Amino acid sequence: MAAHTADPGARDLREAAHAAQVRELTAAGALDDPHWRAAFTAVPRHVFVPYFWTGRGAGHERLWSEDPDPGQRARWLRGVYADAPLATRLRDGELLSSSSQPSLMARMLEALRVRDGDNVLEIGAGTGYNAALLCHRLGEDLVTTVDLDEEITESARAHLARLGYRPAVVTGDGARGCPARAPFDRIMATCTLPLVPYAWLGQCRPQARILAPLSTGLIALTVRDAGFAEGGFLQTPAYFVPLRGATAAPAGRPGASYGDPYDLVDNERFQFLLVLTAGVLHPREALDLWRREDRPARERFGVTVTAQGQWSWLDDPGGPYVWPLGSSGGSGGGGAAV
């Protein structure tokens, strides 16, 4: 271990940076819930992000905690405690895993609406930071985190163990959930979905809550039973590493070629609608709908999941604006984003 790792001065700097992060998140309104404020206070982010990558393309640079240059170590520490997402794992230039923006993590955890005794499944282990926050709030026996990549789960398990947390860290296809640890009261995905894996519903208790990134937003579903879940989008934008695993996104979902529809309207709300209805509405149709319906915000949209399929809708699941999300039989692994 490098001498600076155990240096009391370095420890003081890390503790000061951590305390400043909690103050900033609290001042920004991201930690209104005292339970989550206590969790962020207790769990230091730097333990889970010993290094991260900056830059793009060939310009990637790694900043890490053991750099012999004190200036580079200072850059690493500033980055770790900034309210920003951090790239933590690359492969051939592709982003595989990241540590999510802390304020977004805090808002998602609050939106999960956990209660004492809830059994929680996290899809996308990432660095293990989010799982540690859940462990502090609920206890490690009630937390399961799944990721497709064994290197990611091994790393997350080691980070968690450094702070004494030993939840169930499972290597597997996140779209298949984790039947051995079911039933769950809450499922939280930290990777963008092409559609909601139907297998999750059968692993939930009635009235369970599923919170997951979909399109460029966060869908919050209430599970009625193993065959039905429904809910609306939160107003919060959300951009995560895509779900990876057994199948790619269904045909016609994000990634399909429409020229460059994002140039039609430079508006984040419209981009949400465009991605949500990709493969169903042509860009011009989406633009006409968006204008006709007074530029609807995310929270006017929702999703219904059944054994027969999945639909997104505007304002009312029984109303005139309903679009299929794609094949409900799709599967994918836990991409990592926390």
For residue 246, what are its two tokens? 């057994």
Active site residues: 97
Helix (H) or strand (E) holding 91: strand 86-91
Residue ranges, the chain, pLDDT below 70: 1-6, 56-59, 244-266, 326-338
For residue 91, what are its two tokens? 């492969």
Residues 134, 320: contact at Cβ < 8 Å?
no
- Cα separation, 153 vs 171, in Å, equals 6
Residues 318-329: tens digit of each pLDDT: 999 999 986 433
- Cα separation, 176 vs 167, in Å, equals 19
CA distances from residue 155 to 161, 170, 207, 326, 336 in whole angstroms, order as listed: 10, 12, 33, 34, 12
In the chain, the largest separation of any two C-alpha atoms, in whole Å, equals 66
The residue type found at 67 is D
Q: CA geometry: angle at 253 spanning 235 and 321, to 5°?
A: 55
Q: What is the pLDDT of residue 268?
A: 86
Q: What is the pLDDT of residue 1?
A: 38
Q: What is the pLDDT of residue 245?
A: 59
Q: What is the pLDDT of residue 57?
A: 55
**Crossing angle of helices 70-80 and 8-27, rounded to 10°:** 30
Q: Which of 155, 182, 187, 186 is nearest to 171 (CA)?
A: 155
Hey, is 145 helix, strand or coil? strand
Q: Which residues pair with 147 in a beta bridge?
A: 171
